[in-house]
């Protein structure tokens, strides 16, 4: 029997964990392949990493690069240096990168330079704003990936407009929905709607974490004021990202949120079945 194909699933940040989890669980029982998880360490504290692996029923990563934080250049460079060592030694048959973080582009570059086929999961998404580091990562990754797994028709259209060959594009849908389905029962069991005294389908959930929104005192103060105003007509649950929580305290804005309980803005800590059928390039029995 032919040796199973070795597939590296690159996990770097919280959204990536949720994207690779359904794929990992779908590939796990397959005899034609052996999926291995590579954690770059871009999100490296417990709330950003281990708790999500536990909730998503993912095993300990096969490889952990532990690159940590740093500038975009530092982080991208460290991931490339450390992952290249693993890729050269292990020589996977396919590398699957997800989303648009620095590790996505870094590992795609490693694969391309080592002539290892690269799949981009959640390809084709565009904001049109090149001031966003994520937009640059998306554009560059899509330009060098061998197979582009898209979540939607608009993503297909974006790639075709950029003259990407149609045969490289494969619409697989939104893997985040598959992760939600995996966790549906545990989400329901948490009874968060009841615990927060909310009416089903009569509330909004808010999260903020992009530097452009939260790293400026003026921008964050404006957003806090708008959320407080909007909550007068619609209850809101503000799931506070650690970065945002730090800035709210630093800029003296947390009290403004905590004191608007009559406006039904609730702050909670950021913390955290299967409809997916695998579709993989060059699959063999």
Active site residues: 209
Please give the Cα distance from 264 to 236 (Å, whole number): 6
Q: In this structure, are residues 44 and 17 in contact, taking their beta carbons and an 8 Å threshold?
A: no
Bridge partners, 1 (sequence order)? none
Please give the Cα distance from 22 to 117 (Å, whole number): 21
The CA-based diameter of the chain, rounded to the nearest angstrom, is: 66
Q: What length does the chain have?
A: 285
User: ∠ at Cα 22 (62, 211), nearest 5°?
Assistant: 80
Please give the Cα distance from 263 to 230 (Å, whole number): 9
Q: How many CA atoms lie within 13 A of 75 on its CB side?
A: 19
């Amino acid at each position: 029997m032919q040796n199973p194909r070795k597939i590296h699933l690159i996990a770097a940040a919280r959204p990536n964990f949720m994207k690779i989890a359904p794929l990992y669980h779908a590939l796990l029982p397959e005899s034609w392949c052996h999926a291995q998880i590579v954690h770059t360490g871009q999100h490296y504290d417990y709330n950003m990493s281990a708790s999500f692996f536990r909730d998503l029923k993912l095993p300990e990563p096969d490889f952990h690069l532990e690159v940590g934080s740093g500038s975009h250049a530092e982080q991208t460079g460290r991931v490339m240096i450390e992952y290249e060592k693993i890729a050269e030694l292990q020589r996977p048959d396919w590398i699957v990168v997800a989303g648009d973080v620095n590790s996505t582009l870094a590992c795609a570059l490693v694969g391309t330079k080592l002539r290892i086929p690269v799949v981009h999961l959640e390809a084709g998404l565009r904001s049109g704003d090149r001031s966003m580091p994520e937009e640059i990562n998306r554009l560059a990754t899509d330009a060098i990936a061998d197979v582009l797994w898209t979540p939607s028709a608009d993503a297909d259209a974006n790639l075709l407009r950029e003259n990407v060959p149609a045969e490289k594009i494969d619409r697989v849908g939104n893997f985040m929905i598959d992760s939600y389905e995996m966790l549906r029962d545990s989400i329901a069991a948490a009874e968060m709607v009841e615990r927060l005294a909310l009416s089903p389908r009569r509330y909004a959930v808010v999260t903020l974490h992009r530097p452009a929104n939260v790293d400026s005192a003026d921008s964050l103060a404006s957003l806090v004021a708008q959320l407080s105003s909007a909550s007068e007509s619609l209850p809101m649950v503000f799931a506070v990202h650690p970065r945002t929580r730090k800035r709210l305290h630093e800029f003296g804005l947390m009290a403004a949120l905590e004191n608007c309980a009559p406006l039904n803005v609730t702050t909670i800590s950021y913390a955290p079945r299967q409809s997916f059928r695998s579709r993989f390039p060059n699959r063999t029995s």
